Amino acid sequence: MAAGANASLVKDGIQTLWVPREEVHEKLRGLKSEYRMLYDLTAIDERDRVHREGEPESDFTAVYHLYSFDRNEYIRIKTPLAESALSLDSITDIWPAADWYEREVWDMFGIQFSGHPHLQRILMPRTWVGHPLRKDHPARATEMGPFQLSEEKEEREQEALRFRPEEWGFERSHDDSDFIFLNLGPQHPGTHGVLRIVLQLDGEAIVHAVPEIGFHHRGAEKMGERQSWHTYIPYTDRVDYLGGVMNNLAYLTALEKLAGVPIPPRAQTIRVMLAELFRIISHLVWYGTFAQDLGQMSPVFYTFNDRERAFGIIEAVCGARMHPNWFRLGGVAQDLPRGWDKLFLDFIDYFPPKLAEYDREVLRNKIFQKRTKGVGVLTTEQAIEWGLTGPNLRACGLEWDFRKKQPYSGYENFEFDIPTGTHGDCYDRAVVRVEEMRQSLRIIEQCVRNMPEGPYKSLHPLATPPLKEHTMEDIETLITHFLGVSWGPVIPPGEALGAIEATKGNNGYYLVSDGSTVSYRTRIRTPSFAHMQALPLQVRGRMIPDLLAVLGAMDFVLADIDR
């Protein structure tokens, strides 16, 4: 009894179906032949929502996003849930990748999934009481009383972190020998941040790996319900903290669909240019640290040096280094400074010879090749099944780039190639990323050569803050400016998904507006979350050094996993 949703609330043109909870499992099973990737699974606490015209009654709504590669489109399935019966059938039997998503929904909303193999908290500590993304859970730390860490509490928290193999259905021994359970992280230089992986080892071979995440959960989604639409932009910078303005772009792509703000061509081109520069910056960090993970000490010093050169441009344009917070609803914060083109052109001249040098240093290095070729292999089917996107998907051989397939921000106007791999191993992932830097450079050069004239911000009344010179001319804009800065813009009710090809894969923001100055629900779908979930698949039967190669090649950021 799938009912079509009220079209007025869906602002992104994605087909949206409401399916009752008894039928959703079957419905999703039927859809899988067409929509092969489980893109996202989340929920909304609807209890405080006002504008729900035409939607079925519900206290909570589970939201499934699926993606079809054949049709190149998303589909959204929504299931209404009453507070008295907060449970759903688990879809882990259809998509194994639903495992972590369902755990997250349980952790954040307290929705049960019957048939889930291991429904435990995933982001919050196990000792946590309550479900943070419910509307009645406190948002701020300052609402929760002063923090104290007594010795008993420390012991209790440490005990909660203890790994019990039986809980996961692992044997402690087989035949005559015992398995070793090795704890890697959360403080370990190879995990690139606060990630914990528990390894079940048979000698030195990995039998199973269990990643534990949540040590970096900063509550970025809850923050969206508190900050105004405008003042949430700095928080997006810190989600994939190597991606800088790339995150602004993902958020604003969704927000501008909700607000219906058109973006002037100059602003679009500035956005593309800076986002591609940040793609290079992010890949440079990955390049150096990946080589270091595999035992090469020097490359990180070279790549970080180039990163500093790129940061020189970012600083000249935006004034900040890692978190420029530069894009605004309706455009960018300021126009480009005088002499900007020379900075970019210098970098375009400087960088390709350095890339060639790194090819000699890293990619053609025999030890590097031995450590990465044939390690962490995934097939295209597995990659789609587990929701992999970005370079990790392209390394499997599928030529799929959302900049080309679903162009946003004017990407259809640029010429660039999509590099792909063939084997889906760590080496191919490296090759794809290195080639992507060259393509990004091509895009930047086209931006510099063809930068359109015109305003850097839209004249739409919702553009925040409005162009300053106009506020000096008419009282209407002055009032809008004042309201936009003091309260924030009021976005019409509705929901929209904005997804972009970020540095690490498909980064999507699913925003629900209730017609106020703050978001009702901000869902951040990050690529690293899906990639990390596919880790055990890649390392089973291999050695621990291979695990570090796989982690390095995956190119994840902890804030991108835990948000």
Partner 1 sequence: MASFIQNQFERNVVTTSVDYVFNWARKSALWPLTFGLACCAIEMIASSTSRFDIARFGAEVFRPSPRQSDLMIVAGTVTLKMGPVLKRIWDQMPDPKWCISMGACSSVGGPFNTYGVLQGVDKIVPVDVYVTGCPPRPENLFYALLKLQDKIDQMTTLVKRPTEVRLDESMLENFKQQVRIAQINNPA
Contact (Cβ atoms closer than 8 angstroms) between residue 394 and residue 428: no
Residues shown for the chain: 563
Task: Specify the residue, 238 or 438, whose C-beta has the smaller distance to partner 1.
Answer: 238
Task: Specify the residue, 214 or 264, whose C-beta has the smaller distance to partner 1.
Answer: 214
- Least Cβ distance, residue 536 to partner 1 (angstroms): 21
Give the C-alpha separation, 62 to 437, whole Å.
Answer: 38
CA-closest candidate to residue 541, choices 199, 293, 291, 212: 199
One-letter identity of residue 174:
H
Give the C-alpha separation, 391 to 91, whole Å.
Answer: 27
Give the C-alpha separation, 518 to 150, whole Å.
Answer: 37
- Least Cβ distance, residue 398 to partner 1 (angstroms): 30
Contacts of 211 (CB under 8 A, 6+ apart): 195, 196, 197, 532, 533, 535, 536
Quickly list H helices, 110-232. Answer: 151-160, 220-224
Instruction: Let me know the angle formed at the C-alpha of 364 by 360 and 370, rounded to the nearest 5 degrees.
Output: 150
Contact (Cβ atoms closer than 8 angstroms) between residue 230 and residue 457: no
Contact (Cβ atoms closer than 8 angstroms) between residue 505 and residue 391: yes
Give the C-alpha separation, 54 to 521, whole Å.
Answer: 19
Give the C-alpha separation, 551 to 191, whole Å.
Answer: 7
- Least Cβ distance, residue 244 to partner 1 (angstroms): 10
Give the C-alpha separation, 440 to 428, whole Å.
Answer: 18
- Least Cβ distance, residue 547 to partner 1 (angstroms): 16
Give the C-alpha separation, 258 to 9, whole Å.
Answer: 9
Task: Specify the residue, 153 or 540, whose C-beta has the smaller distance to partner 1.
Answer: 153
- Least Cβ distance, residue 120 to partner 1 (angstroms): 13
- Least Cβ distance, residue 184 to partner 1 (angstroms): 12
Task: Specify the residue, 58 or 526, whose C-beta has the smaller distance to partner 1.
Answer: 526
Contacts of 378 (CB under 8 A, 6+ apart): 386, 388, 392, 396, 424, 534, 537, 538
Task: Specify the residue, 328 or 460, whose C-beta has the smaller distance to partner 1.
Answer: 328
Binding site for partner 1 (CB under 8 A): 123-125, 132, 137-142, 144, 147-149, 153-154, 157-158, 161, 186-189, 192-194, 214-219, 222-223, 234-235, 238, 241-242, 285, 289, 300-301, 304-305, 307-308, 321-323, 558-559
Task: Specify the residue, 149 or 475, whose C-beta has the smaller distance to partner 1.
Answer: 149
Half-sphere exposure (Cβ direction) of 212: Cα atoms closer than 13 Å: 22
Give the C-alpha separation, 123 to 108, whole Å.
Answer: 8
- Least Cβ distance, residue 301 to partner 1 (angstroms): 5
Q: Which residues pair with 208 in a beta bridge?
A: 200
Give the C-alpha separation, 331 to 464, whole Å.
Answer: 9
Task: Specify the residue, 235 or 344, whose C-beta has the smaller distance to partner 1.
Answer: 235
Task: Specify the residue, 303 or 372, whose C-beta has the smaller distance to partner 1.
Answer: 303
Task: Specify the residue, 133 or 272, whose C-beta has the smaller distance to partner 1.
Answer: 133
